[in-house]
């Protein structure tokens, strides 16, 4: 299960790094994939560096996936994914295209895999720690 978490974290890191670098290096192109609104260099730059920061966190977590950092990574991914889904499907301010939909699916699936895998590991740890009861 540790390997599954590491692969999931590396996949998430790749997606977030791609978005982050594209927002930093080619903001006018990347912005129009994510938004129907006007380009804003400050927000694009802040969003880009935030995505790079998350990618770094995922890389650190993949090296040694301890419970706390995996849960933090999964929580961040889940919240970002829920916001993206809201913008994509409810407000329709995020363009509906292959890039945004695939990124959303990867993000939410990665968050779910991390949450569920960590929960299984946590359950297994608690099951081993529980003393046997005699009747």
6-36 confidence digits (pLDDT tens) = 999 999 999 999 999 999 999 999 999 999 8
* Inside any domain, residue 133: no
Residue-wise pLDDT for 36-78, tens only, equals 889 999 999 999 999 999 999 999 999 999 989 999 999 999 9
Distance (Å, whole) CA 25 – CA 5: 30
Q: Are 29 and 5 in contact (CB under 8 A)?
A: no
**How many domains are there within the chain?**
1
Distance (Å, whole) CA 104 – CA 91: 15
* Inside any domain, residue 100: yes
* Per-residue tokens: 124: 């297994």
Question: What is the model's pTM?
Answer: 0.86
Domain that holds residue 103: 2-127
* Inside any domain, residue 116: yes
* Inside any domain, residue 132: no
pLDDT at residue 130 in the model: 66
pLDDT at residue 76 in the model: 95
* Inside any domain, residue 85: yes
- DSSP H helices, the chain, are 2-25, 27-34, 41-63, 67-85, 98-129
pLDDT at residue 135 in the model: 58
Residue-wise pLDDT for 78-130, tens only, equals 999 999 999 999 999 999 999 999 999 999 999 999 999 999 988 888 888 76
pLDDT at residue 133 in the model: 59
Of residues 132 and 126, the one with the higher pLDDT is 126
* Inside any domain, residue 134: no
Q: What b-and-e string marks burial along 42-73, b requiring 16 or more CB atoms within 10 Å of the CB?
A: eebeebbebbbebbebbbebbeebeeebbbeb
* Inside any domain, residue 73: yes
């Amino acid at each position: 299960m540790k390997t599954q978490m590491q692969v999931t974290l590396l996949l998430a890191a790749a997606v977030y790094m791609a978005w982050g670098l594209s927002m930093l290096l080619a903001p006018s192109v990347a912005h129009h994939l994510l938004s129907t609104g006007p380009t804003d260099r400050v927000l694009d730059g802040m969003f880009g560096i935030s995505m790079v920061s998350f990618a770094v966190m995922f890389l650190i977590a993949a090296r040694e996936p301890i419970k706390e950092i995996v849960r933090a990574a999964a929580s961040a991914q889940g919240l970002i994914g829920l916001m993206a889904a809201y913008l994509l499907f409810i407000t329709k301010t995020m363009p509906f295209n292959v890039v945004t939909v695939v990124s959303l699916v990867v993000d939410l699936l990665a968050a779910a895999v991390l949450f569920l895998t960590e929960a299984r590991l946590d359950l297994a740890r608690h099951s081993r720690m529980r003393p046997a009861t005699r009747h």
